[in-house]
Structure 1
């Protein structure tokens, strides 16, 4: 009982739903925040993708819904349509066996606004889930009456800020009751977000959940150099080696996603693509096809890396290293989920060495690999030359290392002989210094001896 969901004293239908999903024990973020949310406390939960934060807020909030009140009681905002639909799906799953119907509605861009307005004229939902722009539109039309809701959830708050939605969120929050319970969930808490949090939150409970491993131990994390090869050729070869179950290929821009998708299609690979310029209806259709395993390969921007669950991803390929390194963890976290094994492959060129080093500074370790004769094989550590040089020079004293550096700058042909002469001269100088020191020590000892006689 101690570490099960029953200890949160939530309604039986929620426990049954959790059991059906297959959750047996609460995650760390759920352990720490569900009791506080149940008590009506405002919270900031900082945790990585896959930590269980969606159910952290859904369980206690659904538990607190009064179905008899035909009014909005909870508003949940997300920065992307896909994430809104995913949260909605999770919420509907939880209320399926509720004794009284709990009305959950999703409002996102690219859907029929007129129809939504007409439907709202007859009945307000208990829980609103959606993107900030569409929720605000429906509020301005006096169709969605959210002023009754005492709870506002902002999921993926840092991404909401990055995508320029914070102003819309501010307008939404300003229409809610003064005594507002605000729940913020985010992978990071940027400084630009803090003034907004201060405006609406007084003494919130702040919990930062540090992942036990930055990358799940279920994931093999490979690094492959593209030196001398076209990146699209390397990706094609990776997709045709072995039998990957479902592969997500990430690129930094919509243009690059299109370029990779077109390159793979021209080589006979059936591939889906997901990015912001694809119309919402088309994106929803593609996501459904991917989930139904109609596509084995998906090329996407980071839109798909944050919060969107696609079951059974066996491989992630970073076609490009993300410029925001937090996205590296989000991308790689798409695989190795639910105790399944996964493989993450990062491609890099020599001019991206610094980006690889920055990722390693986060505590992430790569296994160097290369492709030979249609197989992925272990290869040498890219830092081996630097390590050899370091080992050589570490055995030399500081002055000699300085002389070597100076010599390297000035000499060109026959540098090995000249380097030898530099080291030899240094050793001669060192021996002379040692002999002088020894002679001085003997001289001082003799003087001291004569004085005592």
Structure 2
């Protein structure tokens, strides 16, 4: 049977690599954008993590590399070292069986710059992958010669903007040929990103790949209240109930990650932590240990939620709700992959109610749960009190409703007494009406007899 990727006219070594990876058919973003990239079109691809965008740009760009030219032909920027490493490994996998060697190099901060500069003397890579700061550094040093590259890929553009790297990317782009093919991939397209896109892109093809489901149907999405409880104690209970295979615990800040990791360690739990302040070498070592299942529990910031694939995550715990709700989807998307079952657990306190409501507006539903006697059980809907109050208020006379509302503001002396007397009278009146109607029913029944 003809491999469905063959319709793109890819070279045989790429088809072999795809077969080895186990891809059977292109994803939606690959179907829509690979032909446009092959035709030299600048594109903006808005799609979520896990949509197959890395191979969307790697396949057509590697297919066009001319290995006989000792010059840079593609530059790929990414906001994190981990994501750069992931794209680098994916590229190496694709070029492994190329008949003529295609040189791919990864340049990220926190690594030996002098060694990288020495390696660039006399030989330039065909494909450059890395973080904007280090790439720009090597370009400024005149070690990395990117002016020959007709293609620039900006992966996770919104995160690049959020992390303050867009200025570096702008300087990189300014050193590339005027006729530049720019490929931008992003989960969201913030307004602040648009002036940069207009500066370098003329009439690009824009494709917004809508997720089929906001979160995978194989994920159980639980909501657990931490009211009156220590959050670390709740997480500890969740980790020790049942047998989770691999758990990712997310917090909003580096300091919170440290606090959670230290708290769990003090309770005897072996945890790995991943955030931006951990030195690159240590982060790389920790990631490898996680992949080798030396750690069962990982505490991380959202840096780890974007682009980093940790296989086999059975549970995701949101220790805090992210202020940027797109991160909620990225976090939860770490589990339930490849149609496997997963569990996402979000911890919340009463002050988080508005954020929970905003998540529900995205079309996401939660199953309310609680921990009782070492077991996770179904619990009541957090909105039950509001619903009960609303139904009770509906029975009150409309005039009295307005009186009740007024008591919440400053009122004249004696007003509250007047209001409570009016409510009492209203109640008596209502009971008299009910008794009268019951008496009428009894009279009618007696007449029939």
Per the normalisation by structure 2, the TM-score is 0.91
Whether contact under 8 Å (2:407, 2:416) holds in the other structure is no
Whether contact under 8 Å (1:3, 1:26) holds in the other structure is no
Does the residue aligned with 1:137 lie in a helix, a strand or coil?
Answer: helix
Aligned to 2:405: 405
1:15, distance to aligned residue in structure 2 (A): 1.6
Aligned to 1:162: 162
Distance, in Å, in 2 between the alignment partners of 1:201 and 1:424 is 74
Structure 1 unpaired stretches of 5+? 430-453
Does the residue aligned with 1:10 lie in a helix, a strand or coil?
Answer: coil
Distance, in Å, in 2 between the alignment partners of 1:322 and 1:210 is 21
Structure 2 unpaired stretches of 5+? 434-449
Distance, in Å, in 1 between the alignment partners of 2:59 and 2:276 is 30
Aligned to 2:351: 351
Distance, in Å, in 1 between the alignment partners of 2:168 and 2:390 is 54
Whether contact under 8 Å (2:251, 2:300) holds in the other structure is yes
Is the aligned partner of 1:296 residue 2:300?
no
Distance, in Å, in 2 between the alignment partners of 1:413 and 1:161 is 59
Does the residue aligned with 1:144 lie in a helix, a strand or coil?
Answer: coil
Aligned to 1:422: 426
Distance, in Å, in 1 between the alignment partners of 2:425 and 2:359 is 40
Distance, in Å, in 2 between the alignment partners of 1:296 and 1:371 is 21
Distance, in Å, in 2 between the alignment partners of 1:336 and 1:313 is 8
What do the CA deviations read for 1:83-126 (whole angstroms, capped 9, x no partner)?
Answer: 00000011111111111111100000011110110110021001
The runs of at least 4 aligned residues of structure 1 exceeding 6 Å deviation read: 407-417, 426-429
Distance, in Å, in 2 between the alignment partners of 1:243 and 1:412 is 57
Aligned to 2:23: 23
Distance, in Å, in 2 between the alignment partners of 1:45 and 1:148 is 24
Given the superposition, is the C-alpha separation of residues 420 and 93 from structure 1 closer, same or farther in structure 2, using an over 3 Å criterion? farther
What do the CA deviations read for 1:256-314 (whole angstroms, capped 9, x no partner)?
Answer: 10111011111111100001111011100001111111100000111101111000011
Whether contact under 8 Å (2:404, 2:419) holds in the other structure is no
Distance, in Å, in 1 between the alignment partners of 2:104 and 2:245 is 34
Distance, in Å, in 2 between the alignment partners of 1:46 and 1:394 is 46
Is the aligned partner of 1:47 residue 2:19?
no
Distance, in Å, in 1 between the alignment partners of 2:34 and 2:6 is 12
Whether contact under 8 Å (1:247, 1:314) holds in the other structure is yes
Distance, in Å, in 1 between the alignment partners of 2:310 and 2:234 is 24
Is the aligned partner of 1:118 residue 2:118?
yes
Distance, in Å, in 1 between the alignment partners of 2:417 and 2:250 is 46
Does the residue aligned with 1:222 lie in a helix, a strand or coil?
Answer: strand
Given the superposition, is the C-alpha separation of residues 241 and 404 from structure 1 closer, same or farther in structure 2, using an over 3 Å criterion? same
Question: What is the number of equivalent residue pairs in this alignment?
Answer: 429
Distance, in Å, in 2 between the alignment partners of 1:282 and 1:49 is 25
Does the residue aligned with 2:339 lie in a helix, a strand or coil?
Answer: coil
Given the superposition, is the C-alpha separation of residues 412 and 214 from structure 1 closer, same or farther in structure 2, using an over 3 Å criterion? farther
Whether contact under 8 Å (2:400, 2:423) holds in the other structure is no
1:402, distance to aligned residue in structure 2 (A): 2.9
1:401, distance to aligned residue in structure 2 (A): 3.8
Distance, in Å, in 2 between the alignment partners of 1:320 and 1:173 is 37
Per the normalisation by structure 1, the TM-score is 0.90
What's the C-alpha RMSD, in Å, of the aligned pairs?
Answer: 2.2
Is the aligned partner of 1:285 residue 2:285?
yes
Whether contact under 8 Å (1:237, 1:374) holds in the other structure is yes
Is the aligned partner of 1:250 residue 2:250?
yes
Whether contact under 8 Å (1:72, 1:127) holds in the other structure is yes
1:420, distance to aligned residue in structure 2 (A): 5.1
What do the CA deviations read for 1:362-401 (whole angstroms, capped 9, x no partner)?
Answer: 2111110000011111000000111222334446675554
Distance, in Å, in 1 between the alignment partners of 2:373 and 2:312 is 28
Given the superposition, is the C-alpha separation of residues 413 and 7 from structure 1 closer, same or farther in structure 2, using an over 3 Å criterion? farther
Aligned to 1:266: 266
Given the superposition, is the C-alpha separation of residues 424 and 56 from structure 1 closer, same or farther in structure 2, using an over 3 Å criterion? farther
Whether contact under 8 Å (1:43, 1:184) holds in the other structure is yes
Whether contact under 8 Å (1:70, 1:123) holds in the other structure is yes
